[in-house]
Amino acid sequence: MPASVPNPSASDRVDPAHTPLTALPGVGARVAEKLAARDLHNLQDLWLLLPRQYEDRTALTPIRVLQPGLTAQVEGRVEAVERGFRYRPMLRVAISDGSQGTLVLRFFHFRAAQVAQFTPGARLRAYGTPRPGQHGLEMVHPSYRILGADDAAELSEGLDPVYPAIEGIGPATLRKLIGQALDHLPDEQALELLPQAWLQERKLPGLRDALRIMHRPPKDADVAALLAGTHPAQRRLALEELLAHHLSLRRQRIALQAHAATPLRGGTLADKLRKALPFALTGAQERVYAQVREDLAKAMPMLRLVQGDVGSGKTVVAALAALLAIENGRQAALMAPTELLAEQHLNNLRAWLEPLGVRIAWLAGKVAGRARETALASVAGGEAQLVVGTHALMQEGVVFRDLALAIVDEQHRFGVHQRLALRDKGGEDGRVPHQLVMTATPIPRTLAMAAYADLDVSAIDELPPGRTPVQTVVLSGERRPELVERIRAACAEGRQAYWVCTIIDESDEVIAQAAQATFEALSKALPALRVGFVHGRMKARDKQAAMIAFKSGELDLLVATTVIEVGVDVPNASLMIVENAERLGLAQLHQLRGRVGRGSAASTCVLLYQPPLSMMAKQRLETMRQTNDGFVIAEKDLELRGPGELLGTRQTGLAAFRVADLARDADLLPFVHRVAERLLQESPQLADRLVDRWIGSAARYAAA
Ligand code: ADP
Ligand code: MG
């Protein structure tokens, strides 16, 4: 580490960073509690509570020159007020400003006191985004302020920060509190944790300056950059935040790997399976299996994520790994997110492993009574060599005799906390199981770097030979009738089809109703076919029964909501129709499409859309039409909508970013990656302070 790393102990005799918020005037026990509920405990937490966006109230725009879609601030007098009740209560306030323009402010929620304020002639200032209305432009729910006669109503000097909402604390109060906290910002020396050289090289400001620019943008600040999130102040904070997150994940990994694990060597059993399989492993499977073997041979727990598109053949790799544990006289467990998927694994693994003499136990919610007791006893006693079940395996107080390898399918539904819980499932000798995590949601390389810094990542980036790529067709919803014919033709050839109904932004109830209507219409239009129906509001048992009927060929057509998204394998299904495909994200469309094209027959996926298409939707559908490659789609997805949704953020903790945006700041990651290792080795205390600053109690919780 360069010698310029500041020495904290010299200057922070009084440590403002950790001063509790109750030290601020106006923060009593009640307010402190509300802040604490959002993990805001000390001054430092408020310094780092960064604006979500900015509002530009530095100028007034004459009403006449307002442009639809362009946010602006206006000032005018109330001309007319109208209260209506068409479909719901509504308040319309017309204002004008002498620029010969009229603007309507429209409210759907309002209180009587508010209505009383809008007396004709009253002067007010409003800030919002105009859009075309019935009578010229209107702003819906603008923020506004009534101006008194002697109100000087000065304009803002710089951009106004907009902070995340905190329940029970109004925006004005919050702004005031943050302002007070900022008054206690120590000087740069005491505050800065990053070496000067890093910052100078990248022309980034120090922390103190960066915080002040973000919270109180000066008059001459680069507004466009701030609004776009690319201002050097934001980049600087993003750099520090990404580094802190990375360090925190690396530390978790180091802590876990400080435990011992059983080295799993050999491979005779695994070779037997390979010989018995009706296919040869693909090059990608060989490569990943070799990586896994190398990890397992160590006396340190493996922490590896295997990414592989649907159908890339992850299960075989998992089975080979399990055999290594079994050959060494230890147990392996395989967990899936749903019973249906767990059962699918069970069937595959039984077919592959039982001929080799492997004893498999099955533990799922529906295994009850005597069967369950027997299964639990065989797991605890060690007769069961492989245990297959849902993720609940980890929480149900299942006791293993000798668990040496835990395999988790569909990582994005499996949290860091659960991963840590595995630590405690090892043997009595304090050994921790190796962990193999498999996911079918490809994540762009840059993101994987940030999201899984605690895991090693491998990719099975090749499909088994002989698969015909799914052909994707994008059609307007008007062409729906043609598709009925297409289904009839496919099923006449002995194939099966899916019809997927999607309605986003509606309750499950509404989706179920719409899907029900489609189900009835299709059943009527295709009387010769056996049509099934699954939706999210069905009982798990009924849902599963329908899926199993489809899988076993008792149904020709399955009408479904997006519940079929994950992992169901029906090789004979070769046609999928997705309604309202424009409403789904790329990752979801790709997952859905992965349900077909699993057999040798040429498959088709028809994406029906309702015109008009937004630019984004058009790009998504076009991407789907052009490629079947999950990694390409993931990159495009990242570009189109950013990383948050991509990762199903809650579990990964990535939603917690305050300023960093993985799509925008991805270029910082290689640097973060590089310096994090050095920091951990050479300046562990500095690493601690960075993690404490940005992640604080959340990290303490995760490590507990
Ligand atoms: P996923 O990665 O989606 O979990 P699976 O492991 O379910 O994929 O594999 C999909 C199908 O491909 C299975 O029927 C499996 O037996 C088959 N398969 C796996 N590897 C190969 C291979 N190397 N060659 C041919 N078929 C394979
Ligand atoms: Mg799978």
Asked if pLDDT for residue 543 goes beyond 90, the answer is no
Asked if pLDDT for residue 704 goes beyond 50, the answer is no
Q: What is the pLDDT of residues 667-699, one digit of tens each?
A: 898 899 899 989 999 999 999 999 989 887 554
Q: Which CATH number fits domain 471-627: 3.40.50.2000, 3.40.50.261, 3.40.50.300, 3.10.180.10?
A: 3.40.50.300
What confidence score (pLDDT) does residue 146 get?
A: 92
Closest ligand to 278 CA?
1
> Could you tell me if the CB of 630 is within 6 A of ligand 1?
no
Closest ligand to 312 CA?
1
Atom 18 of ligand 1: nearest residue by CA position = 313
Closest ligand to 409 CA?
2
pLDDT confidence of 594, banded at 50, 70, 90?
A: confident
What confidence score (pLDDT) does residue 647 get?
A: 47
Phi, psi of 219 (to 5 degrees): -55, -40
Q: Which of 169-178, 220-229, 466-475 has the lowest mean pLDDT?
A: 220-229
Residue pair 473/604 in contact (Cβ under 8 Å)? The answer is yes
State in Å: Cα 624 to ligand 2 middle.
21
pLDDT confidence of 425, banded at 50, 70, 90?
A: confident
Q: What is the pLDDT of residues 372-397, one digit of tens each?
A: 899 999 999 999 999 999 877 876 67
Residue with tokens 């090289």: 201
Segments making up each domain of the chain, as ranges? 59-155, 268-460, 471-627
Atom 25 of ligand 1: nearest residue by CA position = 464
> Could you tell me if the CB of 315 is within 6 A of ligand 1?
yes
What confidence score (pLDDT) does residue 702 get?
A: 44
Our mutation pick for probing the ligand 1 site, out of 310, 312, 353, counting the most ligand atoms within 8 A of Cβ, is 312
> Could you tell me if the CB of 307 is within 6 A of ligand 1?
no
State in Å: Cα 547 to ligand 1 middle.
20
State in Å: Cα 315 to ligand 1 middle.
7
Neighbours of 517 (CB within 10 A): 11
State in Å: Cα 496 to ligand 1 middle.
20
Residue pair 216/667 in contact (Cβ under 8 Å)? The answer is no
Asked if pLDDT for residue 649 goes beyond 50, the answer is no
Give the distance between the most distant pair of CA atoms in the chain.
90
What atom in ligand 1 is closest to the CA of residue 314? Answer: 2
> Could you tell me if the CB of 283 is within 6 A of ligand 1?
no
State in Å: Cα 472 to ligand 1 middle.
22
State in Å: Cα 315 to ligand 2 middle.
6
Our mutation pick for probing the ligand 1 site, out of 282, 285, 286, 315, counting the most ligand atoms within 8 A of Cβ, is 315
State in Å: Cα 443 to ligand 2 middle.
16
pLDDT (average), residues 25-40: 91
Atom 10 of ligand 1: nearest residue by CA position = 311
CA distance 387 to 331: 8
Asked if pLDDT for residue 559 goes beyond 70, the answer is yes
What confidence score (pLDDT) does residue 52 get?
A: 84
pLDDT (average), residues 508-528: 83
Atom 15 of ligand 1: nearest residue by CA position = 313
Q: What is the pLDDT of residues 134-186, one digit of tens each?
A: 778 999 999 899 998 888 888 888 888 999 889 889 888 999 999 999 999 99
More reliable by pLDDT, 701 or 620: 620
Q: What is the pLDDT of residues 74-133, one digit of tens each?
A: 999 999 998 877 667 789 999 999 888 899 999 988 888 888 899 999 999 999 999 988
pLDDT (average), residues 451-457: 82
Say what percent of the chain tops pLDDT 70.
89
What confidence score (pLDDT) does residue 393 get?
A: 80
> Could you tell me if the CB of 237 is within 6 A of ligand 1?
no
Query: Helices 232-257 and 207-215 meet at what angle, rounded to 10?
Result: 120
pLDDT confidence of 510, banded at 50, 70, 90?
A: low
> Could you tell me if the CB of 311 is within 6 A of ligand 1?
yes
What atom in ligand 1 is closest to the CA of residue 569? Answer: 7
CA distance 124 to 126: 7
What confidence score (pLDDT) does residue 273 get?
A: 97
Backbone conformation region of residue 648, classed left if phi is above 0, alpha if psi is from -120 to 50, else beta: left
> Which residues, 6 or more positions from 389, have their beta carbon under 8 angstroms from its beta carbon?
333, 334, 335, 336, 342, 362, 363, 364
State pTM to two decimals.
0.74
pLDDT confidence of 416, banded at 50, 70, 90?
A: low
pLDDT (average), residues 182-203: 91
What confidence score (pLDDT) does residue 7 get?
A: 46
pLDDT confidence of 43, banded at 50, 70, 90?
A: very high
> Could you tell me if the CB of 316 is within 6 A of ligand 1?
yes
What confidence score (pLDDT) does residue 14 get?
A: 62
Asked if pLDDT for residue 703 goes beyond 60, the answer is no
What confidence score (pLDDT) does residue 362 get?
A: 94
State in Å: Cα 275 to ligand 2 middle.
21
pLDDT confidence of 520, banded at 50, 70, 90?
A: very high
268-460 and 471-627 in the same fold: yes
Atom 20 of ligand 1: nearest residue by CA position = 313
Asked if pLDDT for residue 472 goes beyond 50, the answer is yes
Q: Which CATH number fits domain 268-460: 3.50.30.30, 3.20.20.80, 3.40.50.300, 3.40.640.10?
A: 3.40.50.300
pLDDT confidence of 348, banded at 50, 70, 90?
A: very high
> Could you tell me if the CB of 435 is within 6 A of ligand 1?
no
> Could you tell me if the CB of 458 is within 6 A of ligand 1?
no
Closest ligand to 320 CA?
1
> Could you tell me if the CB of 623 is within 6 A of ligand 1?
no
> Could you tell me if the CB of 660 is within 6 A of ligand 1?
no
What atom in ligand 1 is closest to the CA of residue 277? Answer: 16
What confidence score (pLDDT) does residue 420 get?
A: 64
> Which residues, 6 or more positions from 198, have their beta carbon under 8 angstroms from its beta carbon?
204, 239, 675
pLDDT (average), residues 193-205: 92
pLDDT confidence of 10, banded at 50, 70, 90?
A: very low
State in Å: Cα 442 to ligand 2 middle.
13
Listed residue (136, 143, 142, 129) closest to 103, CA to CA: 136
Which two tokens mark 595? 């349900």
Atom 12 of ligand 1: nearest residue by CA position = 313
What confidence score (pLDDT) does residue 490 get?
A: 94
Our mutation pick for probing the ligand 1 site, out of 316, 347, 461, 572, counting the most ligand atoms within 8 A of Cβ, is 316
Atom 17 of ligand 1: nearest residue by CA position = 313
CA distance 367 to 359: 17
Listed residue (217, 219, 245) closest to 231, CA to CA: 217
What confidence score (pLDDT) does residue 419 get?
A: 64
Q: Which CATH number fits domain 59-155: 3.40.630.20, 3.40.50.1820, 2.40.340.10, 2.40.50.140?
A: 2.40.50.140
Residue pair 574/603 in contact (Cβ under 8 Å)? The answer is yes
Atom 23 of ligand 1: nearest residue by CA position = 281
Which two tokens mark 552? 């076993």
What confidence score (pLDDT) does residue 87 get?
A: 66
Asked if pLDDT for residue 642 goes beyond 70, the answer is no
> Could you tell me if the CB of 73 is within 6 A of ligand 1?
no
What confidence score (pLDDT) does residue 89 get?
A: 78
